[in-house]
A and B are shown apart, each in its own frame.
Chain A
Amino acid sequence: DTGVSQDPRHKITKRGQNVTFRCDPISEHNRLYWYRQTLGQGPEFLTYFQNEAQLEKSRLLSDRFSAERPKGSFSTLEIQRTEQGDSAMYLCASSLEEVRNTEAFFGQGTRLTVV
């Protein structure tokens, strides 16, 4: 296993278009997180899954955002009707939640630019 994988690495889209990002976590990890990072900020929590169940959503996750993890493995994050303010780095992380005090491993992120 090579770690958390995100695809694509970069995405440029026109305002109003829909985009979808994919995250493949470390295979034995049951928890998967999505974060967003903008310039000068730390990663901001968006949502997380425990296996296939989406357990928490941040208020940052507007109705235009939807995340799925249908089989408890990979996850997708879709943004509908993109806006320029959605331009950011979208980070996925995974962890093994049976081990309480353990770090989350991050992917390399998907950089979204909305023009």
Chain B
Amino acid sequence: DQQVKQNSPSLSVQEGRISILNCDYTNSMFDYFLWYKKYPAEGPTFLISISSIKDKNEDGRFTVFLNKSAKHLSLHIVPSQPGDSAVYFCAARDSQGNLIFGKGTKLSVKP
């Protein structure tokens, strides 16, 4: 059973608009969450993270929101740019310090 779920396999957004990528998790013991971005034929690149003691973390155009009671986090990208087109993975750190990944959401930002 998947502990980290990204229920939208794909998302298409117009350039300049907001992209919202969602992620749900089942294990309340997860205490650190990360978003990675992946281009084809490359490894995932770290984007932004959030500790479970916070509900928001912002870095430039990227903001991650955490709702612990709902076991839900989201990544907001605003404004979206064509270069943001990639697969975005949500990940959670377990008690061993390992990262558990979702299946990813493919974001397409159209000019």
Contact = CB atoms under 8 A, between A and B. Distances in A.
Interface of A: 4, 6, 31, 33, 35, 40-45, 48, 55-56, 91, 93, 95, 97, 100-101, 103-109, 111
Nearest to A31: B97
Contact of A45 (B9, B46, B89, B100): B100
B96 A107 contact: no
B65 interface: no
Given A43-B44, A106-B43, A106-B44, A101 B32 contact: yes
Interface residues of B, number: 27
Contacts of A4: 43
Given A106-B43, A106-B45, A56 B96 contact: yes
B52 to A, nearest CB: 9
A42 B46 CA distance: 14
Contacts of B99: 33, 43, 45, 93, 104
B101 A103 contact: no
B41 A111 contact: yes
Which of B41, B97, B100 has the most C-beta atoms of chain A within 10 angstroms of its own C-beta? B97
